Structure 1
Amino acid sequence: MAGSNQIHLGFIVFTFFLLCLDPTPIRAEGSGAGHKIEFEYKAGTKKGPEHWGDLKKEWKTCKNGKAQSPIDLRDGIATKVNSSLEHFKISYKPTKAIMKNEGHAIAVVWDGDAGSISINGKEYNLRQCHWHSPSEHSINGKRYDVELHMVHRAKNNSDVAVVGFLYKIGQPNPFISKVRKAIASMIDVQKEVHLGVIDPRKMKKAKIGFQDPKKRQIKKASSKFYRYSGSFTTPPCSEGVTWTINKQVHTVSISQVKLLQQAVFDFAEMNARPVQPLNGREVKLHGSSFVNLKN
């Protein structure tokens, strides 16, 4: 019995010694082990972006689609449009929300009526938002550090509209600062966290849209946005998505970018799909007024 205890004690000491030699932290199960990874972002891997369309027959659009997202938004090919209130209106309101680690992205999902947007008179209800790092869309060939997608669905639940905001390194984003603990609690773990009441208007710290028409005031650069028809940027890459990308670039801190990258599973730390061919699609650059304004 004494010999057995000595062997057991020796094994514990030896194991502790090995752990001290390797300072790498033990990853949670969500980092890959026990979680089925259906697609990856790293080019050159078997499940990388260039192979998404071959992984499942339901994902063939990722390979064969002619209106895929993201794209490079170039002012040289964009048609300038003098916008009116009918082109884009936002009517968000606070409601309860939860945060989810979906493996490939950190998402905020509203549980109830969080309001809507109106595009050319058609209404789309806000469902959720999520982050990509680096940005998926680029402007004039430049990719930024983070992109926020606010996802909306029409009442028929089939038509989708996504509003995107781009961020570069600078001052911290106030909303990410507010939910930092929630994000940190789900690093590499597929879980949900109740956030309480979240006002979507505070998600982006951006002034996209238009002033109250009764005030007869016109917004300047912050009212510029790109509009085009594209797809989801993850499998199944379904097309027919109406994209609205704010031209104004906002800021996020380096630590916030790192947190978003650490929280998702290892395969999605850089969760941006490569830019896709335009294939002759029309891109419009909307602005409340282009008089004496530079792109």
Structure 2
Amino acid sequence: MHQTIPIFIIHTFLLFLLIFSSKSVIAQEVEDEREFDYSKGGEKGPAHWGDLKHDWSDCKKGAMQSPIDMSSDRVQVIVKSGEIKRRYKPSIAIVKNRGHDISLQWLNNSAGMIKINGTDYFLQQGHWHSPSEHTINGRGFDLELHMVHLSFDPNATYKIAVIAQLYKIGPPDAFLSKLIENVMPIADKLEERNIGVIDPEDIKMGGRKYYRYMGSLTVPPCTEGVIWTINKRYAEVNARPLQPLNHRGVQFYCPNHENTPN
């Protein structure tokens, strides 16, 4: 059974909260990387998340799981002008190495909000996945940002809203280039670091077109009832371009006398 926690005792520092689509129930995301991993063949990989704990059964049995592929032949086109309405503001933030990702977390619900269907969702944190979790017409991307928002309205049907931004390799992204300076000191440590005031508006996101669907969190317990908004227009993140080989040889080392690196 999932534990029911009344809305009024939710601590404002709780991060990446989850809900049931049929109830106003909030639970905290699993952050301990030792409890699960992403290895395809491992005993704690995604194929087994639903078997590891009873509370994680949605990972196996849920019918509205995320991520998904946004295929053009299945998408319903909605004619609606305007960008996603964001009212963010600068706020104190920390970076935290959670083992399975690096998250940027704003404190005290002070970083602003978005509005979806009349409900206010307050920005909690952002984190990145590489490669992307969502795909468009089967195409994956190099990086995916999830901006996690929470509603404190007791009458709201859905308590979590996530805005996703896809990236491909290209010119440097100004925000990520600045953020990496604060990430490097904790890159190999399960620690957090106060990085002062960060303005969410500095994160380059999307345009006038986006996908929206009802799904779940993408880590255990995979709870459903999350409003997903994925920007169609991708951003770019820096990496040095391929360089000329200039007659250099490339060697491939492998066991058992195999003659191909495939």
TM-score range, shorter chain: 0.7 to 0.9
Q: How far apart, CA to CA, are the structure 2 residues paired with 1:233 and 1:224? A: 23
Partner of residue 248 from structure 1, selected from 233, 241, 254: 233
Equivalent in the alignment of 1:141: 138
Q: Which residue of structure 1 lines up, in the alignment, with residue 14 of structure 2?
A: none
Alignment match, 1:175: 175
Give 1 or 2 for the bigger CA radius of gyration: 1
Deviation at 1:151, TM superposition (A): 0.1
In structure 1, the residue matched to 2:211 is 226
8 A contact 2:33–2:100 mirrored in 1: no
CA RMSD of aligned residues (A): 1.6
For 1:84 and 1:170, locate their aligned partners in 2 and report how far apart those are by CA, in whole Å. Answer: 28
What is the distance in 2 between the residues matched to 1:40 and 1:246?
27
Give how far 1:248 is off: 0.2
Which amino acid in structure 1 is aligned with residue 236 of structure 2?
Answer: T
Alignment of 1:195 with 2:187, yes or no, is no
Q: Is the 8 A contact 1:167 1:250 kept in 2?
A: yes
Distance 1:181 1:82 in 2: 41
Matched, 1:117 2:114: yes
**Is residue 88–residue 120 contact of structure 1 (8 Å, CA) maintained in 2?**
no
* CA shift digits 1:125-150 (9 cap, x unpaired): 00000000000000110010000000
Could you report, residue by residue, the CA deviation over 1:242-280 in whole angstroms, capped at 9, with x for unpaired residues? 00000001111237xxxxxxxxxxxxxxxxxxxxxxxxx
TM-score by length of 2: 0.75
Q: Could you tell me how far apart the structure 1 residues matched to 2:58 and 2:225 are?
A: 12
C-alpha deviation, 1:179, in angstroms? 1.7
For the residues of structure 2 that align with 1:36 and 1:76, how far apart are their CA atoms?
37
Deviation at 1:156, TM superposition (A): 3.8
**Letter aligned with residue 211 of structure 2:** Y
Letter in 1 for 2:141: Y
Q: As a proportion of its length, which structure holds more helix?
A: 1
Residue segments in structure 2 that go unaligned for 5+ positions in a row: 1-31, 241-262
**Secondary structure of residue in 2 paired with 1:142:** coil
Provide the secondary structure at the position in 2 that maps to 1:190.
coil
Q: State the one-letter code of the partner of 1:95.
A: S
Q: CA deviation at 1:70?
A: 0.2
Contact 1:96–1:110 (8 Å) recurs in 2: yes
Cα distance change, pair 36–165 in 1 and its aligned pair in 2 (3 A)? closer
Distance 2:42 2:125 in 1: 29
Flag as ranges the 4+ runs of structure 1 deviating above 4 A. Answer: none
Answering whether residue 76 of structure 2 is matched by residue 65 of structure 1, we say no
Q: Which residue of 2 aligns with 1:238?
A: 223
| Structure 1 unpaired stretches of 5+ | 1-34, 209-221, 256-295
Q: Which deviations, in whole Å up to 9, do the C-alpha atoms of 1:174-194 show, x marking residues without a partner? A: 111112221111122011111
- The separation in 1 between residues aligned to 2:72 and 2:210, in whole angstroms, is 11
- Under a length normalisation based on structure 1, what TM-score does the superposition of the two structures give? 0.67
CA deviation after TM superposition for structure 1 residue 84, in Å:
4.8
